Chain A
Amino acid sequence: MPYNIAMVSDFFFPQPGGVESHIYQLSSKLIDRGHKVIIITHAYAGRTGVRYLTNGLKVYHVPFFVIYRETTFPTVFSFFPVFRNIIIREKIEIVHGHASLSNLCHEAILHARTMGLRTVFTDHSLFGFADAASILTNKLLKFTLSDVDHVICVSHTCKENTVLRASLDPLTVSVIPNAVVAENFRPKSVEEGGSEHPRLGPNDTITIVVISRLFYNKGTDLLIAAIPRILATHRDVRFIIAGTGPKAIDLEQMIERNVLQERVLLLGPVRHEEVRDVMVQGHIYLHPSLTEAFGTVIVEAASCGLYVVCTRVGGIPEVLPGHMTEFAKPEEDDLVAATGRAIATLRAGKVRTELFHDQVKQMYSWTDVAQRTERVYDGISGTLSRDEFYLGAEVEGAWSAARGRPGIQNFALIDRLKRYYGCGVWAGKLFCVCAIVDYLLFVFLEIMAPRTQIDIARDWPKKEVTRAEDTENIDSRPTTVPRKRSARNR
C-alpha cells in the first residue's frame, strides 16, 4: 500500500553529511517502491522554495531563522501554518522526522500529531546523560517522543540510548541500520592496477588510511599518539590521512617533531566522491573514534576491501563481522597493539580482503533499509495488525515488562495530554500547555484558512516499472549526490 510520506529535518542538501545522505537515499528507495515522498527542510543560502531532485523527489525549503550549525531557531509554533499547508497540498499521511538536534523535525512531529497524522522519528546519534546540552536535548526529545508512533534507530546501542533518553517502550523502537551504496565503494579493479588475489610480501609497504574529521570526538588525539609508535615498530608502513578540523595542527606538529613527512601523507579535506579513491590506496583503515552511533565510514572502507582497525565504542562493534575488523580499546597502547595485529594478519595473508566488497554488498543496501522502513509504516498505519507488529516482537525471550499495551497511539487530545503529562513535574505541565496551544492554533487555522481553499499539488508523473526490473536497477544506478562527513552525526 503506497503512502504519502514527508521527511522532515533541518539537515539536507546542499549541506553534506550522514543524515542528509540517509534521508536522500531512503527517500529515493521509497519512491522506487511506489510511495510518494517529499522532503521538508529549511532554506539554505542560494536554495529556497520548492526543488525537485532525481526521480521526482520534491524538496520544500521553508524560510527559517538558523541559529547554530544549520539548526533552526526553536519557536515551537511558528512552523505550523506553512507545515499544515504543505501537508494538505501533498496529502501527506506519514511524517518522518530525522535527527534529534533538528528543531524542525521536533516541531513537525508535534504538529503532525495535532493534525492527526502518523509520525516516525529516526535517531542518528548518541547522547550522554551528564552535560547540560544533553540534558536539554533529552528533555526536548522526551517531549516530542512522548507522542510519536514509532522510532527508528541506526544501531542497537543507539536504541538503548534513545529508549533511556526519551523513556520509550522498547517495542516501539526499531533498529534499522544505515547502508552504503556499495557500487560507489568498489575495491581497486584490475585496470586500475589492482590484482585479483592481492598478496602482501614481507617487505611490501602497507598503507594505513585514516579519513575522518580531525575533531576530539573522532579520537584524533589517540591517532596522534599512536602514529609515531606504529611507524617506529613497523618499517614498511605508511599513513594517508584525509580530513581536516581543529586537531589538524596537532597532527602536523606531531609529524614535524618526529620527522615523519615521508611516511605520513596529509591530504587535507576530500570530497565524498573522492573518498573511495583515497581508500583504495590503502590496505588498512584505522578508525580511532571515541563515540559513534553507526560508523558508516568503516562499512565504506570494508566495501573498498580494506581491513578495518577500530575502537570498540558506541555501535561500532555491531557493524562489521569479526573477520573484517580488529578491535581496540580507546587507549593508545591497545590501538598500537591492534594495528600491529592487523599488519601481521595482512602479512600472513590470513584475511581475504578481496572478498569484502561482495560481503558488504550483501549486508547493507538501501533497498533493504527502505523495505524495513516500509514495514514500520505498515505497522503504524494499521496495515499490519497491532498483534503482528508489536506482539510479533515478543517471541520467546523477548522483552516482557512492556507487554502492557504498546500499539496504535490514538489522536484524542485528552490521550495525548496524558502522555505529555508524564514527562516531568514541571515539564509535563509545560508540554501540556504547548500541546493545547498547538491544538487551538490548528482549530484557528482550520477556520481562517480552510482546507477547501488549499490547492492539491499534482503528483510527479511516474513511469510504470515492474518490480523485477526495479530491484535490479536500484543498486546499479549511481547516485549523483555528494556526501561528506558532517560535523554532527558521524
Chain B
Amino acid sequence: MDSSVPASDRLAPDDAFSQDIAAIGQAPPKKRTEGPGSSSRRRRRPFKKILWFKQPFPDNYTDEETFLDHLQRNPRLQPYQFWSLMADVTVVVQHVASVAIFCCCFVAIAQEKVSPVSVVSCATVCTVLGWTCWDYWVSQEDHDRPDSPDSSLSGTYPPALDTPAYQPPYVDPMSSLSPRNQVRLATAKSALLIYAALLGLSPILKSLTRSTTSDSIWALSTWLLCMNVLFFDYRGGKGAQLPASISTNSGLMASTVLASRLPSTTHVFSLTLFSIEIFGLFPIFRRRLWTESRHGHFALTSGLVVFASGGVFVTLTSGGLLAWVIGVILGGTLTFLAMGICSFGLMSLQKYKNEIHGPWDPARPIIRRS
C-alpha cells in the first residue's frame, strides 16, 4: 500500500516540463489542485491508497495501478485430476455398498431366506479378522516409535469403538501385561459387554414398535439410512475422529426400527449386532485401511461392490446364481460409470469456481497454542 509506489522508469513527454519530480515527490503539495483540467499537463505524485493526506485527485478517482491490486481469485485452487478423483470416490462407493449390503441382509432375514445367525456369524468373523489387521497395524506403528509409547497410545489413534482402551486410564503401568496386551484385554472386555447388553436388550427392542404400522417403519428407516449416507464423514486421514455421530446414530436407529419388525429375539439380536458391526466398526476399519494400503482398499471396494450389486439384484429378482452374476456385471458397470460421470461433472464444474479474497476479508488470527 504505502510502500508500493510505482516506479517510473520510462520517460514520458511530461518529463520535459517538470525536471523537479524528485523535489515534488518529497514534499506534499499544500493545496489541493483545483479541478483536474488545469493540472492534467503537470506530472502528478502517484496516487496512493491513503486517507490521512488529501491527494490532488477527485474523490471518485480510480487508479489503474492500485485499484484492486490486493484482489486474489481462487488463491488455493487445486485442479482435480480424474484418476485421483476416482480413487477418492471409492470411499463413498464403499459406504453406499455397505448400506446396500445391510439392506439386502435385512430383506433376506425378514423373508426367512437366510438364517440370521449365519449372517451375524459371517460378519463377526470378518470383524475379528479386521480387528486383527488393525491390531497388527497399531503394533507396527508402536515398533516404529518405541521411545514414545504413551503419546502414541493417547493421541494418534482414533479412539475407536472396538478399542476404547486407547485412553490412558485403561493402561495400568503397574500391570504385568504389556500395554498392548492390556489394550487387547480391554477391547475383548468391552466387546463382551456390548454382546451381553445386546442380548438383554433384544426382547425390548423386539416389541419397541409393535403399535406402529410397517409402512411407517419402511419410510422411517429409508430416511434414516439416507441420513446415514449423507452425514457420513468421508474425510480420510489418520487423525480423523470418530465417524460423524449423527451418521452412526441414524444408521443404528434405522437398524433398531427394522429389527423390531422381525419375528424372534434371535433375529433382533443378530440384526442389531450386525448393524453395530457394519455402521459402527466397519467405517473405522475402512478408514485405517485407506491410510495403510491402497491396494487393500481397492480390493475391499471391489468386494463390497460385488456383494452389494449381486445382493441387490438377487433381492429384487429373487433369482439364483445367474441373477447374482448378472447383477455383479450390471452393478459393477453402473457403479464405474456413475463414478466416472460424477468425477467428470465435478471437474467441469470447477471452471466456474470464483472465490474472491482481498483485504476486506476478516483476518484469521494466528495464535500459538501453548
Is A376 an interface residue, CB under 8 A from the partner? Answer: yes
Contact B59 A176 (CB under 8 A): yes
Is B35 an interface residue, CB under 8 A from the partner? Answer: yes
Is A160 an interface residue, CB under 8 A from the partner? Answer: yes
Q: Across the two chains, which residue of chain A brings its CB closest to B369? A: A225
Q: Please, which residues of chain A bring their CB within 8 A of the CB of B235?
A: none
Contact B67 A170 (CB under 8 A): yes
Contact B61 A395 (CB under 8 A): yes
Contact B365 A331 (CB under 8 A): yes
Is A344 an interface residue, CB under 8 A from the partner? Answer: no
Is A270 an interface residue, CB under 8 A from the partner? Answer: no
Contact A222 B35 (CB under 8 A): no
Would A313 and B363 be within 8 Å (CB), given that A160-B68, A392-B58, A393-B62 are in contact? yes
Q: Please, which residues of chain B bring their CB within 8 A of the CB of A293?
A: 360
B165 → A minimal CB distance (Å): 33
Q: Across the two chains, which residue of chain B brings its CB closest to A156? A: B49
Q: Please, which residues of chain A bring their CB within 8 A of the CB of B359?
A: 157, 160, 313-315
**With A and B bound together, what is the CA distance between A399 and B47 in angstroms?**
12
Q: Please, which residues of chain A bring their CB within 8 A of the CB of B364?
A: 290, 330
Considering residues A164, A173, A395, which has the most beta carbons from chain B within 10 angstroms of its beta carbon? A395
B169 → A minimal CB distance (Å): 26
Is B362 an interface residue, CB under 8 A from the partner? Answer: yes
Q: Across the two chains, which residue of chain B brings its CB closest to A316? A: B359
In chain A between 321 and 368, which residues have their CB closer than 8 angstroms to a CB of chain B?
A: 321-322, 329-333, 363-364, 368
The segment from B36-44, B182-190, B257-265, B292-300 found at the interface with A is B36-44
Is A122 an interface residue, CB under 8 A from the partner? Answer: no
Considering residues A172, A176, A225, A333, which has the most beta carbons from chain B within 10 angstroms of its beta carbon? A225
Q: Please, which residues of chain A bring their CB within 8 A of the CB of B128?
A: none
Q: Across the two chains, which residue of chain A brings its CB closest to B56? A: A395
Tell me the count of chain A residues lying within 8 A, CB to CB, of chain B. Answer: 65
Q: Please, which residues of chain A bring their CB within 8 A of the CB of B46?
A: 397
Is A398 an interface residue, CB under 8 A from the partner? Answer: yes
A380 → B minimal CB distance (Å): 11
Q: Across the two chains, which residue of chain A brings its CB closest to B50? A: A318
Is A76 an interface residue, CB under 8 A from the partner? Answer: no
**With A and B bound together, what is the CA distance between A132 and B125 in angstroms?**
48
Is A78 an interface residue, CB under 8 A from the partner? Answer: no
11 extra A-B contacts, CB within 8 A, seeds A164-B356, A175-B51: A157-B360, A160-B358, A177-B51, A221-B367, A290-B362, A290-B364, A313-B362, A314-B360, A332-B366, A389-B58, A393-B61
Using a CB–CB distance below 8 Å, which chain A residues touch chain B? 126-130, 150, 152, 155-158, 160-161, 163-164, 170-177, 217, 219, 221-222, 225, 290-291, 293-294, 311, 313-315, 317-322, 329-333, 363-364, 368, 372, 375-376, 388-390, 392-393, 395-400, 402
In the A-B complex, list the 5 residue pairs whose CB atoms are closest, starting with the nearest. Answer: A399-B62, A174-B59, A330-B363, A331-B366, A126-B360
Using a CB–CB distance below 8 Å, which chain B residues touch chain A? 1-2, 35-37, 39-40, 44, 46-47, 49-54, 57-68, 70-71, 355-356, 358-368
